[in-house]
Amino acid sequence: MNSRKTILDRELLTQALRHMGEEDLLYLNRMVVERLNLLAQARSTVELAQFAEGDRVEFTASDGSLKQAIVLRLNKKTASVRTDEGQNWKVSPGLLRKAAAR
C-alpha cells in the first residue's frame, strides 16, 4: 500500500471480513476487482500518453531480442507497432521505450 492515508482501519476491515457471509464477500470481491481494473486502465492511459503515432520505439521481445519499431496506433491497452523486420505487434506501453531516430 502506498503512503496515502487509508480510509478504513485495516484491523476493523479484517474483523468485518471474518463476519461477512458468502454473498457479501462476493459483492466485495466484485467491487475490489472493478477498482483494480480501473486503476490498471488509468495507469495504462498515462503510459500510452507518452507515445504518439509515428514515434520510434523499442522493446524487448519474449525471446530476449531487442525490437525497434514505429508506433502505428494507440489502442485502449496497447500500442500497435511495426518492427523494422515488418512484423506487427501489440505491446503494452509499460514495455515500450522511446528509441533514437534512424
> Residue 75's closest CA among 56, 51, 95, 101?
51
Taking the model in full, what pTM does it have?
A: 0.67
How would you write the pLDDT of the chain (102 residues) with one tens digit per residue?
455 666 778 889 899 999 999 999 999 999 999 999 999 889 988 999 999 999 999 999 999 999 999 999 999 889 999 999 999 999 999 999 999 876
Residue type, 94: G
Task: Report the number of secondary-structure helices (H) and strands (E) in the chain.
Answer: 2, 5
Residue with cell 472493478: 34
For 99, the grid coordinates are: 528509441
